[in-house]
Amino acid sequence: MQQEQKSELTRQTILNESFKLFYEKGFKTTSVDKIMKATNLSKGAFYHHYKNKRELGLAVISLKVQKRVFDGMITPLYKSGDAVDILKSTFLDRLKSFPIYDKQHGCPMNNFINEIGDMEIAYQAALKKIIEEWKAALIQLIERGKSEGSIKSNVHSQAAAVYLISAFEGIRGIRKLYDDDLILDEYISGLSLYLDQIKK
Neighbour-count burial of 196, counting CB atoms closer than 10 A to its CB (0-12 exposed, 13-18 middle, 19+ buried): exposed
Cβ atoms of 112 and 127 closer than 8 Å: yes
pLDDT for 5 beyond 70? yes
Mean pLDDT, the chain, whole residue set: 94
- Domains of the chain in start order, with CATH, are 1-50 (1.10.10.60), 58-198 (1.10.357.10)
Would the pLDDT of 7 be above 90? no
Confidence of residue 120 (pLDDT cuts 50, 70, 90): confident
Q: What is the pLDDT of residues 23-65, one digit of tens each?
A: 999 999 999 999 999 999 888 888 988 999 999 999 999 999 9
The reply to whether the predicted model has a pTM over 0.85 is yes
Residue 117: pLDDT band (50, 70, 90) is: confident
Over range 106-125, report the average pLDDT.
Answer: 92
Statement: residue 1 has pLDDT above 80: no
Q: What is the CA radius of gyration of the chain?
A: 19
Q: Is 99 left (phi over 0), alpha (psi -120 to 50) or beta?
A: beta
Exposure string of 94-106, with b = 16+ CB inside 10 Å and e = fewer, is ebeebeeeebebb
Residue 151 gets the label, from left (phi > 0), alpha (psi -120 to 50) or beta, of beta
- Structure confidence by residue, pLDDT tens digits, 128-180: 999 999 999 999 999 999 999 999 999 999 999 999 999 999 999 999 999 99
Higher pLDDT, 174 or 7: 174
pLDDT of 43: 85
Per-residue pLDDT, 2? 80
User: Does residue 189 sit in helix, strand or coil?
Assistant: helix
Residue 35 · residue 17 · CB < 8 Å: yes
SS (H, E, C) 9-54: HHHHHHHHHHHHHHHHHCCCCCCHHHHHHHHCCCHHHHHHHCCCHH
pLDDT value of position 191? 97
